[in-house]
């Protein structure tokens, strides 16, 4: 969070974070960048690796969350990244009715012995709470 955002309410931060510097005659918002490829040797080479629109969004989200943020070009990319940081043999609690490819990825992790997957019906609060207690049972408190 920069000095400009100190003391502002979240709603005020949200309308100012990620915006370009205030310069007379310049656009107030970052323009929507629709290009998928860029000229080589610049700060961005291909849209899947980032683009100016994502950068503005990451800055705004990071400021709101009090840190930094990283956005992905697809939900599956975000899911794969999140699951990639699970420790070997971790218990992963996942919804029974998750996105189909998420289930396939979880099946692969479990089949390869990289994780223990516990699927829960998220409409059953007791099942969800029990799964999270199970996931922390062996950890020091």
Region 25-48: mean pLDDT is 76
Pick from 48, 57, 56, 53: which is nearest to 33 by CA? Answer: 53
pLDDT of residue 139: 53
Q: What is the pLDDT of residue 135?
A: 62
More confident residue, 119 or 14: 119
Give the C-alpha separation, 61 to 74, whole Å.
17
The answer to whether the predicted template modeling score (pTM) of the entire model surpasses 0.75 is no
Contact 33, 42 (CB under 8 A): no
The tens digit of pLDDT for each residue in 66-75 reads 889 998 878 8
Give exposure, 39-51, as e/b (b: 16+ Cβ within 10 Å).
eeeeebeebeebb
Task: State the chain's mean pLDDT as an integer.
Answer: 83
Please give the biggest Cα pair distance in the chain: 59
pLDDT at residue 2 tops 60: no
Q: Give the pLDDT score at 114.
A: 94
Of 60 and 17, the one with more pLDDT: 60
Q: Which residues contact 76 (CB under 8 A, 6 or more apart)?
A: 99, 101, 102
pLDDT, mean of residues 22-43: 77
Euclidean distance between CA atoms 132 and 135, whole angstroms: 5
140 pLDDT higher than 50: no
């Amino acid at each position: 969070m920069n000095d400009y955002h100190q003391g502002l309410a979240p709603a005020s931060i949200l309308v100012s974070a990620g915006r370009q510097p205030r310069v007379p005659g310049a656009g107030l918002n970052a323009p929507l960048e629709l290009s998928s490829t860029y000229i080589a040797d610049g700060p961005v080479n291909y849209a899947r690796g980032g683009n100016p629109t994502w950068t503005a969004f990451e800055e705004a989200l990071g400021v709101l969350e009090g840190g930094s943020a990283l956005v992905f070009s697809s939900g599956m990319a975000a899911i794969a990244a999140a699951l990639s940081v699970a420790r070997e043999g971790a218990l992963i609690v996942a919804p029974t009715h998750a996105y189909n490819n998420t289930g396939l990825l979880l099946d692969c992790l479990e089949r390869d012995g990289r994780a223990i997957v516990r699927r829960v019906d998220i409409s059953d609060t007791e099942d969800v709470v029990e799964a999270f207690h199970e996931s922390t049972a062996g950890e020091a408190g």
